[in-house]
Structure 1
Amino acid sequence: MGDRDRDRVRTDARAALLAPPAWLVAGLRPKKAPVPWAAAARASVAMAVPIVVGLATDKPAYGALVSMGALTGVIGDTADAYRMRVFNIALPQFFGAVGVTLGTLVYGEGWLAVGILTLIALVSGMISSIGAVASVSGLLLLLNAVVGAGLQMPDPWWKAPLLLSLGGLFVLALSLLAWPLRGRVPERGAVAATYGAAADLLAAAGTPAYETRRQAVTQALNHAYDLVLARRAHDHGRRSSLVRLLAQLNVVIPLVEAAPAAHLHGSPLPDAIPAAVRELAATVAAGRGGGDPTLELPAPATPSQRAVDVALRYASAVVHNADADPPATGDDPLGRPAALRIRARRATRDVLLSEASWRYGLRLALCIGLAQSLVSLIPVPRSYWVALTITFVLKPDFGSVFSRAVLRALGTAAGVVVGAAVLAEVPRGWWDVAVMAVLAPLIPALSVKGYAFQTAAITPVILLLSDILNHQGFDLVVPRLLDSLIGCGIALIAGYLLWPESWHTRIGDRLADAVDDAADYVSYAFGTAGEGDGGGGGADRAERVRRRRRIYRDLSLVRSEFQRALTEPPPTGRRAAAWWPLVVAVERVVDATTAARVRVNHGAPPPAPAEVAAIERQLRGMAEGVRSSTTLTQVRAELTGDETGVLAPLRQEVTAARAITSPGRHRAT
């Protein structure tokens, strides 16, 4: 090697050493997402108008509190469907009002305040595990309690919760202005988008793009069902337009089931098939119906093409039928989820008996207790910002605690620079209105780009509102940065490094459960339960659809868990990257199972029970191996069977998945 080559090697090594870690680069890379212009406009109006009213009435502090309440509404203004916006904004505002009331009552009470906030943190953490709306509600319960306990509120005690709630309700009112004109457009758009995703999936059959398209279909289905079923819970008619929309959504499932069979066949489908599905998407989006469902399609030549042809003609008939009833799904024959009291009872039981719920609640309570104890013993300016930082960093559904702590510190530093310029150069008074009208829209615009960007957008807004309340000007900048760094440090040490929760517990068990679900799916698809009606329609087919949807939803959650783990430093990130191929392999196993079942439904000979049992045993052993972090030592037999049989592709996928958990592979992790 010459001197030039050695110099180049040294230069490359030095550059690699100085380069930021991959997990940090991934966190700082802005996501590709469209800017929510409507939400940005609502944020500008909702947060600037209260300041106008406050200045006009000579009550600027009141206007700042209303604007602070509007800030929480802006953060929660993410739902597409109007009815979901009511839940996403109004319910958290109620919990926020309770939180600020409790915080106000213990303001200046020393260790009593520490104990009360720690208890609120426990409750907040536990209810956050119920779902997305409950998570935001738990967040606001704790956030507002911390603010009420750390910031002197106007008397009497009810004034602060009223003002904060007015801000959130103002955001809600703005977000619902178009409801009378566009009441069902979001749901219809979600169903149409699902048809569009299914068309892309069929167009990608037999090509390398299939995997990505299938993930997009899963996300589109999950989103559409969440929107439609949430509204269906309050719709009791058999002939409403929502019933028809649910029927149109349900008949996408046979198309999605037929796609794996077409993909495994290896040859692309005729262009007329995805084009026909896109025409159905346009029909759904326009709300049309009652037209001609006849399709001009090429004659199918294989069982997989026959499956696509039958599913497409069935979907066309339902889309153009104004009186279609939805196939049975969920908890109710008409497609409605269970009654609210039943779901509330289930959620309460899950919270009280869930180990994960208690584990997160205790972790959040520990960190909040430490933060409040620290600021009680050591004078810290604006000390409530420490607990606020911990609350945001430790949110269970917001991503990796480690990466969020680092990204919040970086985002706060960037936001402080902007906030310092505002506090130093912009005179207080009516100029605050113009500044807020410019800064507020950046919150929804940058939130979709990533957590660091959201933090950078929120920080100058918080500084401006704090200055209106306290008139401390530039003196707020350093405490804001210092308190955020202290909060990030407590979250990193007590909520991450010292917390007895391993990577395997957070990810391995969920992946193992998904493998077990795949084994159940194989057994049901080809066992006696799956043969009751020849694999066709009826209860058995509906049960298979439910199982398949549940598996893919679970795998989507597993993907999210892995993506969070990938943003953490070694060894967690390295282990997650090593196990990632198994997630993909399990998805392919489910696809191959569905494809085989579809082929049997359309004329292929069914597999032998012994062959199905052998595949199921392999999957059970694989799940046990993932759970115990050991290799598959008890299941070593090779899968055998007819190489031309219907399960041949499934055996290949199971063999490939088993290779990922082989002894050599595991030692490499």
Structure 2
Amino acid sequence: MFRELPIGLTPPDWLVRNLRPQPAPVNWAAMARAAVAMALPLAIGFAAGQPALGALASMGALNGVIGDTADAYRMRVITIAVPQLTGAVGVILGQLAFGRGWYAVLVVTGVALVSGMISTIGAVASVSGLLLLLNCVVGAGLPLPHPWWLAPLLMTGGGLLVLALALLAWPLRAGVPERASVANAYRRVADLLDDACDDDRYIGARFDVTRALNQAYDLILGHRARHHGRSEELTRLLARLNAITPVVEAAPAVHLTGRPLPPEVPRTVRALADAVESGDTAGLRLPKLPLALTETERAVDHALKHTAEVVTSPSVDPRGVDERTVALHVRTARATRDAVLSAGSWRYGLRLAVCIGIAQALVSLVPVPRSYWVALTITFVLKPDFGSVFSRALLRALGTVVGLAIAAAVLAEVPIGWWDVPVMVVLAPLVPALTPRGYGFQTAAITPVILLLSDILNHQGTGLLLPRLLDSLMGCGIALVAGYLLWPESWRTRVGDRLADAVEDTAAYVSTAFGDGTDPARRTRMRRRLYRDLSTIRTEFQRALTEPPPTGRRAAAWWPLVVAVERIVDATTAARVRVHHGAPPPSSAEVHQVVRQLGELAEGVRAADTLTAFPTHLTGPAGSVLEPVRQEVAAARAIATPH
């Protein structure tokens, strides 16, 4: 039996959250690709008597493994190939600046500014910006082989080898990832219906639904936007994904009733999910649903029958797919331009450039054996979409220590030569296996791989360990001071304004949900956008909870308001569903009162750094469909931070 730690020795919550591994399935295919793509160049290099060239290609393969995150095969062409090309540009720029003193400082700092700005556009741009800066730092810090095009060619070739391996199964599994993503969304909806009357599990299940829908829409619409002409298969999948929306909208109404649904209902949704994933609907046998009596039961019954009709239909009418939904989810050139020119993009680019400039200036003044490791550490720690800077600096330091322990055993016991190939076969799969668990785990996996390749290039053995530790700690220190402490973003800017925008959008949603002649598709788009925005806010809060006080404590104090806003959206959706299936609609005066109270709440949230309670005077007829909405609004306005 373990005794409980004394209160003074109990680790703080923010530290526990940082160190807790994230649950994630094991991607065996990605692990196999990593083993082959990173070990094969080494084997070819040793066979050709050029192990250094093989190590460079393996470094490029490591970049490809890091970017191998997409599910759809067409998307992999984008997510792996495009970053490799920007990485090649980075190597070339770095080589031009190698050994040029302060000129190298200016070049790498300028590349850092560009890298930081393009990283805010999206997932592919984020990895592209990362590799642009990483490879530029490597080129500026290492003497790479001549001619100038050899190193970028080898590193790009290593990354493209990962892509080639990823595309081997495309002819046999074309369309499988897209179908699986839609089926996963259906299964999460089935879980939501199972947990609809469990208050503790319902919120988590609803968040899982939002995340699954976001992933499915992003995957299918991103694929569809790049597909020349209209694809019947993608159109069908998009129609099936849209068809689950009425079921999602009915779930809040079920939650408010407090009465569990018959088990046949979630069982039906799972049967439809299996049919979507297999692509075979001919033999689909659905459970018989019980007779629907109440408005909520009729809403669920109607939604399920509509979904089943769309799934089992042999063809789909392209006009039934809402193109405005496509426009909502596909990033346009104008949106990309706005992202690049936004104040947030410039702010992040400048912050990254300042940190990289300090690092490059420092290593130019102070002799550091492997100076490029300092800038590499900063590049990883300061990524804007990878989480809290403080948490990543902490996890980077801890992960480096663990990785160095593994590397010490490898470098001490394995001589440079053919034995490096089987060692790489063992170490490389750890990168895709541990990356989903958290940044610290990813660092622990990447560190021994990088040191093994560095040893092949430099032949320094265990002499690499202490410099790597010191450089990583220097990089973490610069990132914490110049990239975190000196850029104090106000809580209102970071979270308060976003939450206030969500409350205002909720007020608009309430007004639209009960307005005369409102387009149902517009209501659906507003609800989807609201849940997506709230999902983003929830993620930002979870990042803030991993930071030490006062940020972590403030995030914990504001968290109930985030949940309250989500409940208001749920209650509004439930009321709309009830009205659609026979309940009397609310009066315009009731709707206006709720909208006004939400507007006041949004103004208060936007103006405050700490939460304060807002007086609530919401009245209305008993039994109105808006009564649950009024209760949730009153609860949200009554929330105050503890003193």
TM-score normalized by structure 1? 0.93
State the alpha-carbon separation in 2 of the partners of residues 47 and 449 from structure 1: 21
The equivalent residue for 1:409 is 397
The equivalent residue for 1:347 is 336
**Does residue 1:570 correspond to 2:561, yes or no?**
no
**Does residue 1:652 correspond to 2:631, yes or no?**
yes
The equivalent residue for 1:234 is 226
Could you tell me how far 1:329 is from its partner in structure 2?
Answer: 6.0
The equivalent residue for 2:15 is 24
Unaligned runs of 5+ in 2: none
State the alpha-carbon separation in 1 of the partners of residues 176 and 468 from structure 2: 42
The equivalent residue for 1:185 is 176
Of 260, 266, 279, 2:271 maps to: 279
The equivalent residue for 2:281 is 289
The equivalent residue for 1:46 is 37
**Does residue 1:666 correspond to 2:637, yes or no?**
no
Per-residue Cα deviation, 1:160-201 (whole angstroms, up to 9, x for no partner): 111100000000000111011101000101111111111111
Matches of residues 470-509 of structure 1 in structure 2 within 5 Å? Answer: 470-509=458-497
Matches of residues 526-537 of structure 1 in structure 2 within 5 Å? Answer: 526-527=514-515, 531-532=516-517
**Does residue 1:433 correspond to 2:421, yes or no?**
yes
1:238/1:54 CA distance change after superposition, 3 Å: closer
Of 9, 15, 24, 1:33 maps to: 24
The equivalent residue for 1:619 is 598
Per-residue Cα deviation, 1:519-575 (whole angstroms, up to 9, x for no partner): 111111112xxx216xxxxxx111111111111111111111001100000000000
Matches of residues 295-334 of structure 1 in structure 2 within 5 Å? Answer: 296-325=288-317, 332=323
Maintained 8 Å contact 2:239/2:321 = no
Q: Cα RMSD (Å) of the superposition?
A: 1.9
**Does residue 1:599 correspond to 2:578, yes or no?**
yes
Unaligned runs of 5+ in 1: 1-10, 534-539
Per-residue Cα deviation, 1:55-80 (whole angstroms, up to 9, x for no partner): 00111110000000000111111111
Matches of residues 127-138 of structure 1 in structure 2 within 5 Å? Answer: 127-138=118-129
1:380/1:633 CA distance change after superposition, 3 Å: closer
Could you tell me how far 1:294 is from its partner in structure 2?
Answer: 7.6
Amino acid at match of 2:274: A
Please say which of residues 200-209 and 98-107 is displaced more in the overlay.
Answer: 200-209
Could you tell me how far 1:633 is from its partner in structure 2?
Answer: 8.3
1:607/1:631 CA distance change after superposition, 3 Å: farther
State the alpha-carbon separation in 2 of the partners of residues 76 and 610 from structure 1: 53
State the alpha-carbon separation in 2 of the partners of residues 456 and 277 from structure 1: 41
Maintained 8 Å contact 1:404/1:451 = yes
Maintained 8 Å contact 1:93/1:137 = yes
Maintained 8 Å contact 1:328/1:542 = no
SS state at 2:437 partner: coil
1:336/1:646 CA distance change after superposition, 3 Å: closer
1:667/1:200 CA distance change after superposition, 3 Å: closer
State the alpha-carbon separation in 2 of the partners of residues 364 and 657 from structure 1: 38
Please say which of residues 136-145 and 225-234 is displaced more in the overlay.
Answer: 225-234
The equivalent residue for 1:383 is 371
Amino acid at match of 1:374: L
Could you tell me how far 1:337 is from its partner in structure 2?
Answer: 4.5
1:419/1:236 CA distance change after superposition, 3 Å: closer
Maintained 8 Å contact 1:248/1:326 = no
State the alpha-carbon separation in 2 of the partners of residues 555 and 460 from structure 1: 39
State the alpha-carbon separation in 2 of the partners of residues 608 and 345 from structure 1: 40
Matches of residues 82-121 of structure 1 in structure 2 within 5 Å? Answer: 82-121=73-112
Could you tell me how far 1:293 is from its partner in structure 2?
Answer: 8.3
Could you tell me how far 1:433 is from its partner in structure 2?
Answer: 0.3
Matches of residues 49-60 of structure 1 in structure 2 within 5 Å? Answer: 49-60=40-51
Maintained 8 Å contact 2:614/2:637 = no
Maintained 8 Å contact 2:179/2:237 = yes
Amino acid at match of 2:166: S
**Does residue 1:123 correspond to 2:123, yes or no?**
no
Maintained 8 Å contact 1:26/1:567 = yes
The equivalent residue for 2:504 is 516
State the alpha-carbon separation in 1 of the partners of residues 132 and 335 from structure 2: 22
Could you tell me how far 1:251 is from its partner in structure 2?
Answer: 0.4
Per-residue Cα deviation, 1:3-51 (whole angstroms, up to 9, x for no partner): xxxxxxxx98x82223332222211111111111111111010000000
State the alpha-carbon separation in 2 of the partners of residues 401 and 179 from structure 1: 38
Of 372, 392, 396, 2:360 maps to: 372
Of 517, 520, 539, 1:541 maps to: 520
1:239/1:407 CA distance change after superposition, 3 Å: closer
State the alpha-carbon separation in 2 of the partners of residues 635 and 263 from structure 1: 27
**Does residue 1:215 correspond to 2:190, yes or no?**
no
Amino acid at match of 2:24: A
**Does residue 1:579 correspond to 2:568, yes or no?**
no
Amino acid at match of 1:33: A
1:364/1:239 CA distance change after superposition, 3 Å: closer
1:339/1:264 CA distance change after superposition, 3 Å: closer
Maintained 8 Å contact 2:119/2:384 = yes
Amino acid at match of 2:187: G
Amino acid at match of 1:282: D
The equivalent residue for 1:257 is 249
Maintained 8 Å contact 2:492/2:609 = no
Maintained 8 Å contact 1:246/1:326 = no
Maintained 8 Å contact 1:233/1:338 = no
Could you tell me how far 1:613 is from its partner in structure 2?
Answer: 1.1
1:107/1:630 CA distance change after superposition, 3 Å: closer
1:520/1:632 CA distance change after superposition, 3 Å: farther
Maintained 8 Å contact 2:112/2:353 = yes
Please say which of residues 16-25 and 169-178 is displaced more in the overlay.
Answer: 16-25
Maintained 8 Å contact 2:235/2:321 = no
1:627/1:356 CA distance change after superposition, 3 Å: same
SS state at 1:666 partner: coil
Per-residue Cα deviation, 1:574-628 (whole angstroms, up to 9, x for no partner): 0001111111111111011011111111111111111111111111111111111
Maintained 8 Å contact 1:295/1:313 = no
Could you tell me how far 1:339 is from its partner in structure 2?
Answer: 12
State the alpha-carbon separation in 2 of the partners of residues 200 and 122 from structure 1: 44
State the alpha-carbon separation in 1 of the partners of residues 167 and 326 from structure 2: 24
Amino acid at match of 1:550: R
Size of the aligned set, in residue pairs, is 640
The equivalent residue for 2:538 is 559
Maintained 8 Å contact 1:190/1:224 = yes
1:415/1:469 CA distance change after superposition, 3 Å: same
1:295/1:647 CA distance change after superposition, 3 Å: same
State the alpha-carbon separation in 2 of the partners of residues 632 and 370 from structure 1: 38
SS state at 1:359 partner: helix
1:98/1:612 CA distance change after superposition, 3 Å: same
1:206/1:399 CA distance change after superposition, 3 Å: same
Could you list the structure 1 runs, at least 4 aligned residues long, displaced by more than 4 angstroms after superposition. 236-239, 290-295, 326-330, 335-340, 630-635
Per-residue Cα deviation, 1:108-135 (whole angstroms, up to 9, x for no partner): 0110110111111111101111011111
